[in-house]
Amino acid sequence: MDELRSALETTAEGIEELREDLEDMEPAGLSDVPWLLEAYGSLAEASVAASRGTAIIDAVDNTLSELRERGRVGRDDDALERAGEQLLRAAYWYGQAQGLLHQAVDRQELFLSMPGAGSQPASATLARYARIQLVGAYTTLEYFDRVELDDTARKAGVHVDVAQTNMVMADPTYALAYGLRDDLYPPDEDNLYGLLATAWRSYEINSLLIASYYNLDVEVDDVSSVDEDVLQYMLDWNAQQARAAIANARERDVEPYLSLALYEIGAGLRQGDVRDRLAALRYFWRAEFMARVMTDLVR
């Protein structure tokens, strides 16, 4: 437990160092913007993952302290087994945080290596875009909570806050969505690129929750229940939308390199299992978003 806590602290420090580095960087031109947004987005998810892992370790530590006080350490097998399971959850979040941090570092390096073609976006336009995306982030999670969690709480006969806590424990995607919402309140309007990127990642993950539970009828921890026909339709439709956004950007003499890369990742993932295909939806959405950002900011 102590080793895992130390590893998470080191990762959290790396996240904060990279955040400070990114805040000192400005795009030299429009072509830099998607790479900076991608770096901020991965960093936002990494921060939530590291916080989630640390929170779980704190809870395990409290459990073990209570066992010590009652003289039950080594004698309460059920409590120790549950503590071990929670440590595995914390290790999962540590792995997620590490992977996302490495992703953010890679995107930062690509951002620094780009030639910076095109004019720099106007701050007023960027601020308006960020506020619009922020509203989307808030409303999609609120919609999911009202449609899915209220129904879950009503069927279980519990308060919605209890259902929400259970959902955070049961579904890592919801835990990530919940953490990103907290990061967005209050919004950091002094860092528009960070705000736009985090708001988009929040919207993206919230949309995946809605698609999974509401449109595709997925059960918690059981993706085998997915409605295959609807998933195939959604993949086809969103791949088409991504291609249209890329074509639209090119019509305005903007080459959306990142969108092309994201689209290809999505195209590869849609050949895999259900979890891969759900991930492919995210990549198609993000490919469209990045192309659309460049198209709108060039106006």
pLDDT digits (tens, 9 = 90+) for 230-274: 999 999 999 999 999 999 999 998 889 999 999 999 999 999 999
Q: Is the pLDDT of residue 222 over 80?
A: no
SS3 271: coil
Token duo for residue 296: 């709108």
Q: Is the pLDDT of residue 218 over 90?
A: no
| pLDDT at site 106 | 96
| pLDDT at site 272 | 94
Phi/psi of residue 219, each to 5°?
-90, 150
Q: What is the pTM of this model?
A: 0.92
For residues 76 and 89, what is the distance between their CA atoms, to the nearest angstrom?
20
pLDDT digits (tens, 9 = 90+) for 31-42: 899 999 999 999
SS3 219: strand
pLDDT digits (tens, 9 = 90+) for 86-131: 999 999 999 999 999 999 999 999 998 887 777 888 889 999 999 9
SS3 145: helix
Amino acid at 86: Q
| pLDDT at site 78 | 82
Better-scored residue on pLDDT, 148 or 178: 178
pLDDT digits (tens, 9 = 90+) for 183-217: 998 999 999 999 999 999 999 999 999 999 888 88
**What does DSSP assign to residue 254?**
-
Better-scored residue on pLDDT, 82 or 289: 289
Amino acid at 277: R
Better-scored residue on pLDDT, 29 or 201: 201
Average pLDDT of the residues in 36-58: 97
Q: Is the pLDDT of residue 297 over 80?
A: yes
Exposed/middle/buried for residue 84 (C-beta within 10 Å: 0-12, 13-18, 19+): exposed
The 10 Å Cβ neighbour count of residue 202 is: 29
Distances (CA, A) of 55 to 22, 60, 101, 144, 211: 26, 9, 19, 24, 28
